[in-house]
Amino acid sequence: MAEGVNIKRLAQELNISIATVSKALNDSYEISLKTKNRVWTLAKELNYTPNPAASNLRSHKTKTIAVVIPCVANNFFSLSIKGIEEIARQYGYHVLIYQTHENIKMEIEFTNSLLSGRVDGILTSVSSSEHNSEYYKTLVKKVPLVFFDRVYEDLEAVKITTDDYDIAFEATEHLIKCGCKRIAYLYGLENLPAGKARFNAYQDALKAHNIALDDELVIRYHEDEDVNFESVKQLLKAVKPDALFSSIEEFIIPSYLACKELNLNVPSAVKILSFSNMDTAKILNPSLTTITQPAFEIGREAAKCLFKILNKKELEERSIVLKSILIKRESTNI
Amino acid sequence: MAEGVNIKRLAQELNISIATVSKALNDSYEISLKTKNRVWTLAKELNYTPNPAASNLRSHKTKTIAVVIPCVANNFFSLSIKGIEEIARQYGYHVLIYQTHENIKMEIEFTNSLLSGRVDGILTSVSSSEHNSEYYKTLVKKVPLVFFDRVYEDLEAVKITTDDYDIAFEATEHLIKCGCKRIAYLYGLENLPAGKARFNAYQDALKAHNIALDDELVIRYHEDEDVNFESVKQLLKAVKPDALFSSIEEFIIPSYLACKELNLNVPSAVKILSFSNMDTAKILNPSLTTITQPAFEIGREAAKCLFKILNKKELEERSIVLKSILIKRESTNI
DNA sequence: CTGTTAGCGCGTTCAA
DNA sequence: TTGAACGCGCTAACAG
């Protein structure tokens, strides 16, 4: 029934011009309420839906935004998408998803493919593999773009991030107050501001409490999860830390499994603290303390900013920083 | 640089007609290799990308598919999307995401909004809130549509599902062999074939082992997680089961928390077994046995089927059933 | 308030 | 082998 119903057809049936129908459907002030009503009722009757391609071609508006992220199968990003989608619906927008898998080439390829007018704007959380701000420097001039969570420091752009430094500092202090002296750091997102801020906060907190830094206590994320497992195991055996501060949730599983294999009780022998948006972290109580980023809110804020830009509204801030939450666990409580 | 580059521009620069450029770009047999090469090189030079709206308007092909699911912030669905995206990329397709939040009205609204030619095809996992096969009965005739995981039984359509009955039977038997006699069932997806199959398998397995069914051992999923927590707690207190078979992963957290609150050791006092795609389930070893659905593969298969349909290729099967895996845990091993 | 006209960028006749 | 012309469905100027 909806097949082949276009404004031309509506115009014919109502004996008015195509332009009038178009204006009526867009609720233009030029059209009388009476005519509008006639058009609207017939449109509903015939189940008319505008052809998006035609309207886009003419108006240069796609009613579509793109989300370019490393991966959807990740608690943080899937929650962000949920937030983005919610806002997009409010504005009647559609949401395209692109996963880069931390591959900078795909990131560029996808983003370029969006430049031909497929979307009105883009939300991006950059890949951690390489630094690529030159590319984005020219890109932000071509298309409305909002960065969220994973951003580049040296880039003039609209950014939604979290208080990585502050919360990591607080978390480190928490471990110290729990009596930990040899806190290992599982370093992720090295190439990004978020990763660096977390690591700096860890170091600064140790210094502030007169605890010597020790390079041996730091291990770096590897994309092969077996390697991470081995690294953590090696660390636990060789350096004997009393806590593991995991800066990304990908380190949680190898941490637990390594402790288990070495018969190290969590949290009495080794405490584990991690950035994480896993719901299941609740079950790991009392052994896991988590830093939870407001992923859903980040998605919402990022989308809101983008729509402000699209609607040419003034942004109060070009950079918004949301607060994370440190969820302490029973036995690690002070 | 890519701004305003269209076939008209290419035609002008090369002193040939627009039509020739169009044909050359589409590698038409009518055009000489020499001309094609001239066009292709210039196109690359000027960074030409075709306008998707225009080409869609003309050709009725959008190079876009939609995924309509209850929620992305869910281990199963986010993995499915990952699989879908991977296949879509291979075909040069774009992926739109719509979350219904188990709301049948949104499901219909979204799906209808896609009928005006915004996408070439749809992948759907239906909402569990209500039965709605009448709607889909007419829909499948209008647009290429593949159902995955959550489907309607009484619907002639292409479906990708998993072996819910078999695996739930195997899981129940596993619990029985571990010595459990009073296995509680946490019932989710009641309105869907998957949910019913799991429950039937549970009952049939008990019968096969001459264990009496007991309605008191069954509780049903409620969307308010506090209610679920209370239900499980109540169940544990009043009926004293020796195992909880959770048919959806949403029951895992309330199950653990309830056991904890009642000081019931898992798995020695109560065993927990659940459908789940959580990576972190690994940590819960030895207390949790999981049934893991091949979410990623389901996404891939569903997408593959859809593209076969779009390319008018013959489908070998209109219904594909993939195998789930029962991951047994140490202490519950036989 | 309503209608006429002219494209948006592309693909597909059909004629040369 | 190429090109001129038309139209997909809609919106935006401009007339009336």
Question: What distance in Å separates the CA atoms of residue A250 and residue A252, rounded to the nearest whole number?
Answer: 6
Residue A58 CA, nucleotide D16 C1', distance (Å): 25
Indicate the DSSP class of residue B163: -
Tell me how long chain A is.
Answer: 334
Query: Which residue's C-alpha is at the least distance from the C1' of C7?
Result: A58
- Residues A306 and A95: their CA atoms lie apart, in Å, by 13
A2 CB neighbour count, 10 Å cutoff: 12
The bases of strand C with some atom under 7 A from any protein CB are: 1-13
Give, in order, the Cα–Cα distances in Å from B295 to each of B81, B290, B299, B325, B331.
9, 14, 6, 11, 26
Is 50 exceeded by the pLDDT of residue B1?
Answer: no
Tell me, in Å, how far CA of A51 is from C1' of C16?
36
CA distance B202 to chain A (A): 25
pLDDT score, position A333: 38
Is the pLDDT at B291 greater than 70? The verdict is yes
Asked if the peptide bond before residue B286 counts as cis, ω within 30 degrees of 0, the response is: yes
CB–CB of A78 and B79 under 8 A?
no
What local confidence, expressed as pLDDT, does residue B333 receive?
39
Is residue B319 classed as helix, strand or coil in its secondary structure?
strand
pLDDT of residue B3: 64
Domain ranges of chain B: 7-50, 59-161+295-323, 164-293+326-332
pLDDT in the model for residue A129: 84
CB A224, CB A167: distance < 8 Å: no
Q: How confident is the model at residue B129 (pLDDT cuts 50, 70, 90)?
A: confident
State the nearest Cα–Cα gap between B69 and chain A, in angstroms: 12
Record: contact A73-B95, CB cut-off 8 A: no
For residue B220 the two structure tokens come to: 């049903």
Owner of token pair 């208080």: A163
3-state secondary structure chain A: CCCCCCHHHHHHHHCCCHHHHHHHHCCCCCCCHHHHHHHHHHHHHCCCCCCHHHHHHHHCCCCEEEEEECCCCCHHHHHHHHHHHHHHHHCCCEEEEEECCCCHHHHHHHHHHCCCCCCCEEEECCCCCCCCHHHHHHHHHHCCEEEECCCCCCCCCEEEEECHHHHHHHHHHHHHHCCCCCEEEEECCCCCHHHHHHHHHHHHHHHHCCCCCCHHHEEECCCCHHHHHHHHHHHHHHHCCCEEEECCHHHHHHHHHHHHHCCCCCCCCCEEEEECCCCCHHHHCCCEEEEECCHHHHHHHHHHHHHHHHCCCCCCCCEEEECCEEECCHHHCC
CA dihedral B40, B41, B44, B46 (to 10 degrees): -110
Is B116 close to A50, i.e. CB distance below 8 A? Answer: yes
Residues pairing with A292 in the sheet: A325
Q: For tokens 């959807």, what's the residue?
A: A72
- Between CA B43 and C1' C12 the distance (Å) reads 21
Chain B residue at shortest CA distance from A276: B280
Which residues make Cβ contacts (< 8 Å) with residue A186, sequence separation at least 6?
A219, A221, A232, A244, A245, A246, A247, A248, A251, A255
Tens of pLDDT, residues A18-38: 999 999 998 889 888 889 999
Greater model confidence, A330 or B211:
B211
pLDDT beyond 50 at B334: no
Domain A59-161+295-323 class in CATH = alpha beta
Instruction: Answer yes or no: is pLDDT of A261 > 50.
Output: yes
Chain B residues with beta carbon closer than 8 angstroms to that of A73: 75, 78-79, 81-82
CA-based R_g, chain B, Å: 26
| Average pLDDT of span A68-88 | 96
Mean pLDDT, to the nearest integer, of B112-137? 92
Q: At what angle do helices B18-25 and B7-14 cross, to 10 degrees?
A: 110
pLDDT grade, residue B30 (50/70/90)? Answer: confident
Q: How far is the CA of A83 from the C1' of D9 (A)?
A: 33
In the block, residue with structure tokens 């239900």: B231
Question: Does the CB of A56 have a partner CB in chain B at under 8 Å?
Answer: yes
Query: Is A329's pLDDT higher than 90?
Result: no
Closest CA to A86 of A232, A260, A256, A296: A296
C9 nearest neighbour residue (CA to C1'): B54
Q: Residues A70, A72, A73, A75: is their CA dihedral positive or negative?
A: positive
pLDDT in tens, B227-267: 999 999 999 999 999 999 999 999 999 999 999 999 999 98
pLDDT digits (tens, 9 = 90+) for A182-239: 999 999 999 999 999 999 999 999 999 999 999 999 999 999 999 999 999 999 999 9
| B290: amino acid identity, one letter | T
Average pLDDT over residues B178-202: 96
pLDDT number for residue B174: 96
Q: Render pLDDT for A265-298 as a digit per residue (tens, 0 to 9).
A: 998 999 999 999 988 888 886 678 999 999 999 9
Strand partners, A96: A66, B96
Compute the distance between CA of residue B3 and CA of residue A115 in angstroms, rounded to an integer. 9
In this prediction, residue A332 has a pLDDT band, given cuts at 50, 70 and 90, of very low
Check whether the bond before B294 is cis (ω within 30° of 0): no
Domains B59-161+295-323 and B164-293+326-332 share a fold: yes
Name the residue facing A115 among B49, B97, B252 (closest C-beta). B49
Query: How do residues B296-330 score in pLDDT, each as one tens digit?
Result: 999 999 999 999 999 989 888 899 999 999 998 76
CATH 3.40.190.10 fits A164-293+326-332, yes or no: no
Using pLDDT thresholds of 50, 70 and 90, give the confidence band for residue A3.
Answer: low
**Residue B48 · residue B16 · CB < 8 Å:** no
Peptide bond into B267 cis (omega under 30): yes
User: Region B104-110: what's the mean pLDDT?
Assistant: 94
Q: Which helix (H) or strand (E) holds A275?
A: strand A271-275
Nearest residue, CB atoms, A53 vs list B56, B72, B257? B56
> CA-to-CA distance for B86 and A98, rounded, in angstroms?
10
Transcribe A208-245 into DSSP letters. HTT----GGGEEE--SSHHHHHHHHHHHHHHH--SEEE
* Cα–Cα distance list, A241 to A214, A259, B126 (Å): 11, 11, 48
- DSSP conformation class of A332: G
Paired tokens of A113: 């493919």
Question: Encoding tokens for residue A248?
Answer: 């990304």
Phi, psi values for residue B70, rounded to 5°? -60, -45
Region B146-169: mean pLDDT is 96
CB pairs under 8 A between A and B: 125
Asked whether the predicted pLDDT for residue B118 surpasses 50, the reply is yes
Q: Tell me the percentage of chain B whose pLDDT exceeds 70.
A: 97
Which DSSP string do the residues of B252-294 spell out, in sequence order?
Answer: HHHHHHHHHHTT--TTTTSEEEEE---TTHHHHTTTEEEEE--
Q: Which of chain A's residues have a Cβ under 8 Å away from the Cβ of B92?
A: none
Question: A167 — phi, psi (to 5°)?
Answer: -70, -35
